[in-house]
Amino acid sequence: MNKLARRASLYRMIWRWHFYAGLFVVPMILILSLTGAAYLFKPQVERWEERAWQGLATENAVTPEQQYRAVLSAYPGAKFHSYRVPNSPGDAAMIHVGLPGSGRQMLDVFVSPQGRVVGSLSPDQRIMEVVKDIHGQLLMGKRGSLLVELAASWAIVMVLTGLYLWWPRGRGISGVLWPRFSQGQRTAWRDMHAVTGFWVSGLALVLLLTGLPWAEVWGSSFKAVRAEMGWVKGAQDWTIGGETPVSPDHAEHDHAAMMGTSPAMPEVNDNQIVTEATASLSQMVMLAKQENLAFPVLVTPPGAPGRFGKKGADCWTIRSDSQDRTLRTTITYDAKTGQELTRETFADDHIIDRVVGYGVSWHEGQLFGWINQLIGVISALMLITLSITGFVMWRRRKPPGQLGAPPVAKSPTTLKGVAALVFLLAAFLPLLAASLLVMWLVEFLIIRRMANVARWLGMPSDKPHSEDI
């Protein structure tokens, strides 16, 4: 086979991979792009969501302890988990509690400066929490997380193969860097797809790669590698498969642990958490304000479920929970003396965690303010455009009675050339490897024995059409 024929065969193979990757990924890309773009504005949306409890009168303000007791009076038997320091003097304090009962429902209770309970929100039903659950788990728990990870893995394949198909190969920059609208609809649709894909490819790969540490399989594998290589220093600051990993010596803010599902959670008399500590809640809130940490700032009492400092349960914790991980700081104080015990900043994390932290902050649009959000929105719009143009191109060229997949490449040389790249991608993306194995088994054990199905998919068949049962 001459060089030109091998190149054409390779092009058809890459095109086929791109086609099947897109067929699976496009619906997921639309969902992830829309929810991802919305989640970029989490601080603004949550500020709007709490608008009724902002700008309140500050006269006759009471202490944080009195605010805390007002919550206990309104919700008898509630378990105190954290106190969020108001962002502005007139804002209500948000006190995070667990309600009594077998379900241990969590509640964010808002208390005015005068100590009146003015409202409440269920953390799991807040707008951005629902958006996050759709984005990361499709509202399906771990199964949804696995689907999202599988889609992200194939999206990487789609981007890489798309770049190969876009490659100019001696053409001018027209139709490469900008679309040609004057050469008919077919060329216009093709150029809109290819050019948009080129401009968004780098941003898309960054978003996909920075999302992998959150994924169920990839994130768990990455966590195991970090532990094996000794790259762990402090608590992991991101979730895996929608659940926060909890280490024995430093647990994260974890709803599951707060609700009593963590085996390490101690039994605590909630009425004694604040009143018996020598260092008071008011003192901790005052210290938190003096630190000028990035909002939101949480003050967590000694012994609160799901939150332990390195000294165990006998300490207060002040923590900035900013979405910009580079601004996060965690400080612990002795519950009896009020003396500072530990202070952890982003700079104290292991270099690997700092790299992931930068990626997570970029992914959530909080690394450098509104510019990061704008880039995120533009990326989402371009991915949506890519999905729509790809669908239109497929429908326009799809022959009747067939899926419209590109023809199979038959060159053994081409197959060997692609094998190395496939192996590398599969080694890096476990779910991609698993899905490739399943696809191979289905094709060779089932589809090849069904001539009509094989013809519809554009695959070779072991039986002639007439023998298909």
Rounded to whole angstroms, the Cα distance separating 241 from 344 reads 25
Shared-domain flag, residues 287 and 422 = no
- Using left for φ > 0, alpha for ψ between -120 and 50, and beta otherwise, residue 250 falls in beta
Mean pLDDT of 4-20: 81
Asked whether residue 463 is assigned to any structural domain, the reply reads no
> Average pLDDT, whole number, for the chain?
85
Structure tokens at 73: 């009076």
The model's confidence at residue 469, banded by pLDDT at 50, 70 and 90, is: very low
Asked whether residue 320 is assigned to any structural domain, the reply reads yes
Which of 320, 351, 382 is the endpoint of a domain?
351
Asked whether residue 435 is assigned to any structural domain, the reply reads yes
Task: Supply the pLDDT for residue 1.
Answer: 57
Asked whether residue 217 is assigned to any structural domain, the reply reads no
Structure tokens at 466: 């007439």
Domain that holds residue 308: 40-130+252-351
Top pLDDT among 464 and 60 is at 60
Mean pLDDT of 317-326: 95
Structure tokens at 16: 């086929």
Shared-domain flag, residues 165 and 301 = no
Rounded to whole angstroms, the Cα distance separating 300 from 304 reads 7
Shared-domain flag, residues 161 and 35 = yes
Give me the helix-helix angle, 216-229 and 142-166, nearest 10°.
90
Residue 166: how many other CB atoms lie within 10 Å: 16
Of 57, 383, 391, nearest in space to 375 by CA = 383
What are the phi and psi torsion angles at 337 (to 5°)?
-100, -20
- Contact yes or no for 262/251 (Cβ under 8 A): yes
Rounded to whole angstroms, the Cα distance separating 319 from 81 reads 13
Asked whether residue 295 is assigned to any structural domain, the reply reads yes
- With 0-12 / 13-18 / 19 or more C-beta atoms within 10 angstroms meaning exposed / middle / buried, residue 442 is exposed
Shared-domain flag, residues 266 and 330 = yes
- Contact yes or no for 173/225 (Cβ under 8 A): no
Task: Supply the pLDDT for residue 440.
Answer: 85
Shared-domain flag, residues 195 and 341 = no
The model's confidence at residue 407, banded by pLDDT at 50, 70 and 90, is: confident
Top pLDDT among 457 and 382 is at 382
Strand order across the 117-121 sheet: 117-121, 106-111, 93-98, 79-84, 297-300, 315-320, 329-334, 340-345
Q: Which of 136-140, 242-246, 448-452 has the highest mean pLDDT?
A: 136-140
Q: What is the dihedral of CA 268, 272, 277, 282, to 10 degrees?
A: 110
Shared-domain flag, residues 70 and 123 = yes
Mean pLDDT of 223-247: 79
For residue 179, cis peptide bond before it (omega within 30 degrees of 0): no
Task: Supply the pLDDT for residue 15.
Answer: 86
What's the per-residue H, E or C state across 54-97? CCCCCCCCCCHHHHHHHHHHHCCCCEEEEEECCCCCCCCEEEEE
Structure tokens at 12: 């058809």
Which of 294, 320, 351 is the endpoint of a domain?
351
Whether 459 shows a pLDDT value over 80: the answer reads: no
Shared-domain flag, residues 20 and 157 = yes
Rounded to whole angstroms, the Cα distance separating 415 from 435 reads 19
Whether 189 shows a pLDDT value over 60: the answer reads: yes
Vertex 232 angle, CA 229 and 233, to 5°: 145
Residue 376: strand, helix, or coil: helix
Least-confidence region, from 8-22, 100-114, 238-252, 454-468: 238-252
Give per-residue pLDDT as tens, 65-116: 999 999 999 999 999 999 999 999 999 999 999 998 766 789 999 999 999 9
Shared-domain flag, residues 8 and 148 = yes
Shared-domain flag, residues 332 and 197 = no
Write out the DSSP string of 173-226: SBTTTB---SS-HHHHHHHHHHHHHHHHHHHHHHHHHHHGGGSHHHHHHHHHHH
Shared-domain flag, residues 264 and 294 = yes
Q: How far apart are the first and last CA of the chain?
A: 36
Asked whether residue 360 is assigned to any structural domain, the reply reads no
Give per-residue pLDDT as tens, 31-62: 999 999 999 999 999 999 999 999 999 999 99
The model's confidence at residue 392, banded by pLDDT at 50, 70 and 90, is: very high
User: What are the percentages of helix, strand and coil residues in the chain, rounded to 5?
Assistant: 55, 10, 35
Which of 297, 317, 351 is the endpoint of a domain?
351
Shared-domain flag, residues 326 and 202 = no
Asked whether residue 365 is assigned to any structural domain, the reply reads no
Percentage of the chain modeled with pLDDT above 70: 85
The model's confidence at residue 311, banded by pLDDT at 50, 70 and 90, is: very low
Give per-residue pLDDT as tens, 142-181: 999 999 999 999 999 999 999 988 888 766 777 778 888 8
Task: Supply the pLDDT for residue 415.
Answer: 59
Asked whether residue 246 is assigned to any structural domain, the reply reads no
Top pLDDT among 122 and 4 is at 122
Task: Supply the pLDDT for residue 178.
Answer: 84
Rounded to whole angstroms, the Cα distance separating 167 from 414 reads 18
Q: Which of 290-299, 400-409, 419-428 has the highest mean pLDDT?
A: 290-299
Task: Supply the pLDDT for residue 186.
Answer: 87
Vertex 233 angle, CA 229 and 236, to 5°: 100
Whether 317 shows a pLDDT value over 70: the answer reads: yes
Task: Supply the pLDDT for residue 168.
Answer: 82
Top pLDDT among 369 and 265 is at 369
Number of folded domains that form the chain: 2
Mean pLDDT of 274-284: 75
What are the phi and psi torsion angles at 316 (to 5°)?
-85, 150
Whether 241 shows a pLDDT value over 90: the answer reads: no
Shared-domain flag, residues 126 and 157 = no
Q: Looking up tokens 């990361």, which residue turns up?
A: 136
Task: Supply the pLDDT for residue 238.
Answer: 82
Residue 312: strand, helix, or coil: strand
Give per-residue pLDDT as tens, 244-263: 655 433 333 444 433 333 33
Least-confidence region, from 72-86, 205-219, 222-236: 222-236
